Amino acid sequence: MMGEREFSDGEDLAREMDARDPLRAYRDRFHLPPGATGEPLVYFAGNSLGLQPKAVPALVEQELEDWARLAVDAHLHGRTPWYSTHERFREVGARLVGALPGEVVMMNGLTVNLHLLLVTFYRPTRERHKILVEHRAFPSDAYAVETQLLHHGYDLAEGVVTVAPRPGEHRVRTEDAEALIEERAEEIALVLLPGVHYFTGEVMDMKRIAAAARAKGIPVGFDLAHAAGNVPLRLNEWDVDFAAWCSYKYLNAGPGAPAGAFIHERHGRNTRLPRFAGWWGNDPTTRFQMHRETRFAAREGADGWQVSNPPILSMAPLAASLSMFDEVGMEALRAKSERLTGYLLDLVDRIPGDRFEVITPREAAGRGCQVSILVRERPRELFQALVAEGVVGDFREPNVIRVAPTPLYNTFHEVWRFARVLERVGTASS
C-alpha cells in the first residue's frame, strides 16, 4: 500500500522536499512567531492572519519620517506621495486577481467594500429581488446581505436563495448552483458567493458560476477573502462583475489592512452607475475645486468607487507583501501549495482510526491552502492539545479544525511535524 502512494511518511522526505523547494528563501523574509522553546511555532493560521514581512517596519517608518519632515507637503513630495499612493497598487493588484489595470483598487475593509459594491450591483425590483448565497456563509457576508435586503424593504426569509451541499456532503456542487440560477433566474437579482469557502476550504468554480449568472442577466460577485493570494484568479477573463477581498490573511498586510475591490472594466467605464460617493472617487482633475464643482463626477475605473483618502500607514505593509507576490507569481505559489496540501492529506490519511474526516475537496483544483478536518470526538480538547504542542491553526464550531500551510513561509517539514503531533495527541485521547 505504501508503494502506491505519492509520498512516504518519513521525515527525510519532508527535509528533501524543503531542500528542493524553489521558494524556500522567502520564509526568511517573514517574522516567525516563537514557541515556548524559542523555536518557531508551526504557524498554519495564514488563512486568519498572515505573518509580518520583515520589510514592513522600514516602510512604515518611511511614512512616519515623511509625515514628521514634510507634514502636509508629503501628499505631493513624500518618497511615495500620499495623493497618489493608492495608484501604486493598480497593476500589482490587477495581476494578483487576473484583472486589467484600473479594475482594482485597494480601500476600506472587506465588508465596507461589499456594501459599497452592493449599492451598485444589487438593484432589486418587485419581481427580481432575491440574492443567491451559499449555505453557512461567513457571518459578515450574511450580515451584509441581510441588512441590504432590509434596506430595500425585504426580510431575510423572502430575500435569500441558498445553495447548499447535498445531504451527507460538505461541498457545494457547481451544477447545483447552476441549476438554481437556471430555475429561479426570474427571481434572482444578484449572485454573491465566496471564491473559497471559509469553513470547508472548497474552491468554487467561479468561471462556470459567473457564466451561468451572466447568461441570465444576473450580476455576479465574489467574496475573495480566502481566495486572493491563495489561488490563481482570472476575474476579467471570467467576466465577473465585481469582487472584494481582505488583505490580512494570505496577503500578509497586517490586522485591519486595506481591502481590495474589483469592478469589471465595462462597469468602470460607466461613470453614471449608482454608488455611494466620496471625494476620493471623484475625478482627480476637479477633486480640489471644492467651490466650483459641487456635484460628484466619478473617476473611471475601480477608483471611482473610493470614498475616502487612503490610510497611508496601513498601505505600507500592503506594499511590502504585494511586492513579494508580484516577484514570485501566483502560478509558482499555487504549485507549491498543491504539493503542501497534498502531502498533508496523505499524512492525515495514514493516521489510524476514524476520528478525523477531511471535509476539504481532495482534488487539487477544488482546494486552496486550507485543509479543514472534522473531528468526531472531543474536537475542542484535541485543538487545545495541538496548541499546547506549538501548532497554530484555528477551531470552527462545532467540530472543525482548520490548518493552512501557506507557500511563502511554511515548509514541508512543518507539515510532517503537524501530522506527527496530530497522530500522537489524536490517538492518545481518542
Residues 167-213: tens digit of each pLDDT: 999 999 999 999 999 999 999 999 999 999 999 999 999 999 999 99
Mean pLDDT of the chain: 95
pLDDT score, position 256: 95
Domain architecture of the chain: domains with CATH = 2-54+329-428 (3.90.1150.10), 80-327 (3.40.640.10)
pLDDT single digits (tens) 327-357: 999 999 999 999 999 999 999 999 999 999 9
Are the CB atoms for 221 and 187 separated by under 8 Å?
no
Which grid coordinates belong to 4? 502506491
Give the pairing type, strands 259-263 and 242-245.
antiparallel
pLDDT-based confidence at 429, cuts 50/70/90? low
For 278-284, what is the mean pLDDT?
A: 92
pTM, full prediction: 0.95
pLDDT single digits (tens) 363-373: 999 999 999 99
Using DSSP, state whether 400 is helix, strand or coil: strand
pLDDT score, position 132: 98
**Cis bond upstream, residue 81 (ω within 30):** no
Which grid coordinates belong to 75? 501628499
Which grid coordinates belong to 155? 426580510
Whether the per-residue pLDDT at 233 is higher than 70: the answer is: yes
pLDDT score, position 5: 58
Q: How far apart are the first and last CA of the chain?
A: 25
> Which amino acid, 195?
G
Share of the chain above pLDDT 90, in %: 92
Kindly state the helix (H) or strand (E) to which residue 261 belongs, with its residue range: strand 259-263
Residue 178: CB atoms within 10 A of its CB come to 18
d(CA 201, CA 414): 20
Alpha carbon separation from 108 to 45, 46, 119, 133 (Å, rounded)? 23, 21, 15, 23
